[in-house]
Structure 1
Amino acid sequence: MSSAAPTPVPAGSAGSAVPLIIVDGANVVGSVPDGWWRDRAGAAIRLRDKLAALPAAGLPGIPPPIEVVLVVEGKARDIPQGPPGVRIARATGSGDDEIIDVVRHEHTSGPVPRRIVVITADRGLRDRATALGAEVRGPTAVPR
């Protein structure tokens, strides 16, 4: 578990019908062999900017509007918030633990269950997220 409290959700979003897409930033960035390891923060910023269109565009099988959270860790943790549409969750420890904390928070903070989709290829994270009721899709589900 991460030692920090889960990243708060925007007011009014918990329990809403708006699906939540949680992106495992390190895993998605690492799925494209484009030299990301030379500039982890820059790679996270590029991903953040590509994800910015999703709230209005949706994903296959998930029509808009959607809420997008990009979980960043390590050297990518200090990237700026950036354009509207993607909320940055900064993991103080493990990015996987931060993702699970966000999933747990979303499942317990509203009166109505919310559709939550975690974007990752990490099998351990996949198992943890699905055990909490989240769906999981691989990195190719989002622009990279």
Structure 2
Amino acid sequence: MSTPDEQVIVVDAANVIGSRPDGWWRDRPGAARRLLEKLVRLQQQLPESTTIAVILEGAARKALDTDLMDLGALRVILAPASGDDTITRTTADYLAVATPPAVTVVTADRGLRHRVEPLGATTTGPSWLLTQLDNL
């Protein structure tokens, strides 16, 4: 059961990575690994009542092919197929408990926003998260 002050941030990694034209398309696993490293640092600075869940899909899933990455409390979910389906399912799972946490999905994808908001999640764009990560 969750406590009322518990928060979950669900990150659409593909959408966040793709929001900055920094050459990520040349090395998707590397771009995902860099995002994960920053999210680990952010997770360490947040209260224990805040969970970050990152969804990786496609080639970005290979970001975890290394044994060198310590993810700490960061939760990484590998989408078996559609990232949007996995994000929606993950959001629904977090909100399905008796006292659900406040769930925020980080994405600019309008279709995904229309899927998770009726479940009770709020949404915010990648720029919000990238600002947090840039300030680490």
* TM-score bracket relative to the smaller structure: 0.7 to 0.9
Report the Cα distance in structure 2 between the residues aligned to 1:45 and 1:56, rounded to whole angstroms: 17
TM-score, scaled to structure 1: 0.80
Report the Cα distance in structure 1 between the residues aligned to 2:36 and 2:43, rounded to whole angstroms: 12
Cα shift readout 1:45-101 (whole Å, capped 9, x = no counterpart): 00011111223434xxxxx33100110000011322643132110001111110000
How big is the alpha-carbon RMSD for the aligned residues of Structure 1 and Structure 2?
1.6
Give 1:100's aligned residue: 88
Give 1:27's aligned residue: 15
1:128 positional shift: 0.7
Amino acid at match of 2:126: P
Q: Which runs of 5+ in 1 are unaligned?
A: 1-13, 59-63
User: How many pairs were matched up?
Assistant: 125
TM-score, scaled to structure 2: 0.84
Q: 2:112 aligns with which of 121, 125, 137?
A: 125
Amino acid at match of 2:10: I
1:41 positional shift: 0.5
Q: Which runs of 5+ in 2 are unaligned?
A: none
Give 1:78's aligned residue: 62
Helix, strand or coil for the counterpart of 1:78? helix
Identical aligned residues as a percent: 41
Pick the structure with more helix per residue. 2
